[in-house]
Structure 1
Amino acid sequence: MQQLTEGARAVLRTADADAKAAASRDLATAWRAGSIGEVGAAGAPDRPARPVTPALRPPREVPRRKITAAPVGRFALLHALAHIELNAIDLAWDMVARFAEATTLPRAFFDDWVAVANDEAKHFQMLQSRLGDLGGGYGDLAAHDGLWQAAEETAHDLLARLAIVPMVLEARGLDVTPAMITKLTNAGDHDSAAVLEIIAHEEIGHVAIGKRWFLWLCETRGVADPKAAWQSLVRLHFRGLVKPPFNESARTEAGLPPDYYEPLSERCLNG
């Protein structure tokens, strides 16, 4: 019988974007159904496989997306979001495969990250469908390679990975997505706005999962002050500033109150 980490590694090694999303959802279904009996310890590749397109460039070389009523502007935005969700599939399965032997992790840890991986694959598929409606698909535009830097920076430590990926990167999505929804609605693209509404709601749960397991691991390791530990890990491993404006209501719902992130914020550091 297949082990979960073997399946996770297979998803990570799948290059085609649509096939990766489908494999992610199939693996999640098998895990939930009990068809996979063991977690295993297959490990993770250094980098996930990627399709031939899009071309990956440094973040500063990728044009900034601007939402307009014209299909080209909306397509660029949705393409950028699809790229984020494709990376998120790999980040979730890397969490499963890479850290299966990092500590004594309960089954609930894997249940949570399998659920995240399934959500991210669903998000990619919804965005891919909208790109198709607009006459193209994922891979038509260039994208940046900055997202996997966070995985490489935290590959050595589960606590650091939890601190950066769900509690910084996914939390940033909570901040920026409502404005995108408003702009898409104003542009008359109600179908894309509806997709982002689903993503925004489910990402709150992903941040909450990250915070829950961060606290659990802090307790397991005897970390007396999880908030201070999180701030220290962000200063050490996150490239850039924690930028406002913040969606305080969504962050608080996810278990990330202002006293966690405000001391690290751009506005605080700039006085």
Structure 2
Amino acid sequence: MPPRFSTCPADIWATMAELTPTTLRGQAIAALATPDLALKRDLTLRAGERWFARTLGLSSPSDPVLPDRPGRPDRPVLVAPRLVPKRSVHTLDGRIAMIHALAHIELNAIDLALDIVARFATQTVPRTFFDGWMTVAMEEAKHFGLLSRRLEALGSSYGAMPAHDGLWQAVGVTADDLTARLAVVPLILEARGLDVTPSLLVKLRDVGDGDTAAILEIIYEDEKKHVAIGAKWFRFLCARDRIDPARRFQELVRQCFRGEIKPPFNDRARAEAGLTPTFYRSLSPVSS
């Protein structure tokens, strides 16, 4: 059976409400920990709804223990990046592999946003910090649902192909530093999506896959907001510590990120999100 991602019936929510924690941190941990992808998505959306309705506290000593890793079903099998199926827009199998890879990215993005909320709930930051990251978590859950349904429409499902674990590795190296987490996750990993998505949209439309392109257009517009949320709070923390944000970003990238920061860069979309070239150009081994 493929991983489930449909919403829970209302009567199940009544039972779950009695069992789930009464704080945002507790509910984020519950969503992070479950291996049931339908429940993960539903708990994420429900936690966000309750947080924005201001019916949840932020944290409590009775919150569950934050897991080292997110809950996952048995599939997909995690392999080395070089063993992940090749992706291409020019064949159906290649597009399915591409959509599967994107769904895996979005699933990890749900958990990365939940982890930021849960791990840093005791930080001295404004309440609106958590508004931003619950917005991100809820939108990543939406993206995962859209891509999962697209896979099913094409005769596949999430979990049908192997995937790699590279995205979650960002958690370990930034576990004790909120500024580093913001530098690596939204300002590197998510910002990369702003660079590659426009050309991918053109290719999908050229081969007549307007349905997948429409989903990526939604994701692209949302990801601009996510990078902006990361940039806003990264700048906030640097300003509070009286540190130059571009210089601090470069220091943290060199310390915490093993990959390359390489062109092409979508300078316009990045700048609209608050990530100007002064942040990343000097980190690139080549000029675009």
The superposition leaves residues 147-174 of structure 1 with CA deviations (integer Å, 9 ceiling, x where unpaired) of: 0111111111101000100000000010
Does 2:115 align with 1:94? yes
**How high is the TM-score relative to the length of structure 1?**
0.94
Corresponding residue for residue 239 of structure 1: 258
Distance 1:22 1:182 in 2: 33
Judge conservation of contact 2:85–2:97 (CA < 8 Å) in 1. no
Does 2:32 align with 1:25? no
Per the TM alignment, residue 241 of structure 1 is displaced from its structure 2 partner at its CA by 1.1
Corresponding residue for residue 158 of structure 1: 178
Q: 1:67 aligns with which of 67, 89, 112?
A: 89
Does 2:189 align with 1:169? yes
Corresponding residue for residue 120 of structure 1: 140
Does 2:117 align with 1:82? no
Judge conservation of contact 1:242–1:261 (CA < 8 Å) in 2. yes
Does 2:224 align with 1:204? yes
Distance 1:60 1:72 in 2: 18
Q: 1:51 aligns with which of 61, 73, 87?
A: 73
Distance 2:86 2:170 in 1: 21
Judge conservation of contact 2:184–2:253 (CA < 8 Å) in 1. yes
Per the TM alignment, residue 258 of structure 1 is displaced from its structure 2 partner at its CA by 1.0
Structure 2, unaligned runs of 5 or more: 1-20
Distance 2:243 2:58 in 1: 33
State the number of aligned residues. Answer: 266
Where in structure 1 do 4 or more consecutive aligned residues deviate above 4 Å? none
Corresponding residue for residue 254 of structure 1: 273
Per the TM alignment, residue 39 of structure 1 is displaced from its structure 2 partner at its CA by 3.7
The superposition leaves residues 196-247 of structure 1 with CA deviations (integer Å, 9 ceiling, x where unpaired) of: 0010011011001001111111122x23211101100001111121011011
Letter matched to residue 214 of structure 1: F
**C-alpha RMSD over aligned residues:** 1.5
Per the TM alignment, residue 189 of structure 1 is displaced from its structure 2 partner at its CA by 0.9
Per the TM alignment, residue 77 of structure 1 is displaced from its structure 2 partner at its CA by 0.6
Cα 1:132–1:75, aligned 2, differ >3 Å: closer, same or farther?
same
Letter matched to residue 266 of structure 1: P
Distance 1:40 1:258 in 2: 40
Distance 1:9 1:85 in 2: 18
Corresponding residue for residue 16 of structure 2: none
The superposition leaves residues 100-121 of structure 1 with CA deviations (integer Å, 9 ceiling, x where unpaired) of: 12x3121100110000000000
Per the TM alignment, residue 64 of structure 1 is displaced from its structure 2 partner at its CA by 3.0
Identity percentage over the alignment? 53
